[in-house]
Structure 1
Amino acid sequence: MIEATDFKNAMSLLTSAVNVVTTAGASGRHGFTASAVCSVTDTPPTLLVCMNKASRSHEYFVENKILTVNVLGSQHENISNVFSSKMNSEQRFKHGVWTELKTGAPVLKDALVNFDCAIDQIQAVGTHTIFICRIVAIRQSQHEHGLVYFNRAYHQVGEVEVA
């Protein structure tokens, strides 16, 4: 049997893009920092997002059936920390400049890319929920450096300009 600690330690060595996943609805705007995001298919364009069922905003994502994956750039380490902190939702959205695309879920204006999605399927697996998300709008920025998480620390990726 694999122990949870052993699994977590091994997974810390899997480099992951850092994202802030957001939703909006009657309950207001909500968001969390996530590394468990990946592409499923390009026909139709679909992402998979994993969220802990114990998260205080979990029920809002299930109810709203929309979300935006905001892929963070190297300049967003603070926003990642804010959206993984104990701050309430209203306080979190005071950080960054937010707008909307098609669904109405909050879109971080200077993210590397924003994937605006409708949640088509919801699957519970252990402690987490998997959202299967059909992409309805995409916006890319001109930023060239991404933020990744590896070995429990942030790192910058992208081409470095040579002077």
Structure 2
Amino acid sequence: MARLGAAVTVVTTGTLENPVGFTASAVCSVTDDPPTLLVCLKRSSRAREAFHEGSPMCVNVLASAQQDLSNRFAGPLENIERFAAGHWTTLETGAPALEEAVSSIDCILDRIVEVGTHSVLFGKVQAIRLGNPAAALVYFNRAYHHLPHADLT
């Protein structure tokens, strides 16, 4: 699966006062009616217990310049230290949303399916915030790659 490139995201839950988050690249759209996406989270992750059906979840898509933030949320730091970087607000669900993200997709966790070593989190989209257009950060072949910004206008 290392040869399957993917966008780099920081997935959050909780509140601004008690935030939880982790870095994920296993994220994809499931359906547009109702708008739903999925996130794969390793069952042994210390963040796992904070995610449960009905809880908020925000998927923050990172820009090329945010590789350090990705590493911060993938490393051993405690949650409070992870959230010390960036500017965090909320959208509709109350989950932390990164102001500098390329986009923030705010969801309510609809269901969780346990598959092997991972929990597959299905989130129904409640709100989307599009950030400034920026170059993309992707993960491929166990390394970060920086895609140039594409002007879509």
Q: State the TM bucket, normalised to the shorter chain.
A: over 0.9
TM-score by length of 1: 0.88
SS at match of 1:81: helix
Distance in 2 separating the partners of 1:39 and 1:60: 22
SS at match of 2:28: strand
Contact kept? 2:87, 2:98, Cα under 8 Å: yes
Distance in 2 separating the partners of 1:141 and 1:25: 21
Report the CA distance between 1:159 and its aligned residue: 3.6
What corresponds to 2:122 in structure 1?
132
What corresponds to 2:55 in structure 1?
65
1:16 aligned onto 2:2? no
Distance in 1 separating the partners of 2:95 and 2:150: 33
What corresponds to 2:142 in structure 1?
152
Report the CA distance between 1:26 and its aligned residue: 10
User: Which structure 2 segments of 5+ residues have no match?
Assistant: none
What corresponds to 2:131 in structure 1?
141
1:55 aligned onto 2:58? no
1:121 aligned onto 2:111? yes
Distance in 1 separating the partners of 2:74 and 2:85: 13
Report the CA distance between 1:63 and its aligned residue: 6.6
Report the CA distance between 1:142 and its aligned residue: 1.7
What corresponds to 1:91 in structure 2?
81
Could you list the runs of 4 or more consecutive aligned residues of structure 1 that deviate by over 3 angstroms after TM superposition?
Answer: 158-161
Flag the structure with larger Rg. Answer: 1
More off after superposition, 27-36 vs 46-55: 27-36
Percent identity at matched positions? 48
Contact kept? 1:52, 1:128, Cα under 8 Å: yes
User: Which structure 1 segments of 5+ residues have no match?
Assistant: 1-10
Aligned AA for 1:46? T
Aligned AA for 2:4? L
TM-score by length of 2: 0.93
User: RMSD in angstroms over aligned alpha carbons?
Assistant: 1.8
More off after superposition, 76-85 vs 142-151: 142-151
Contact kept? 1:25, 1:64, Cα under 8 Å: no
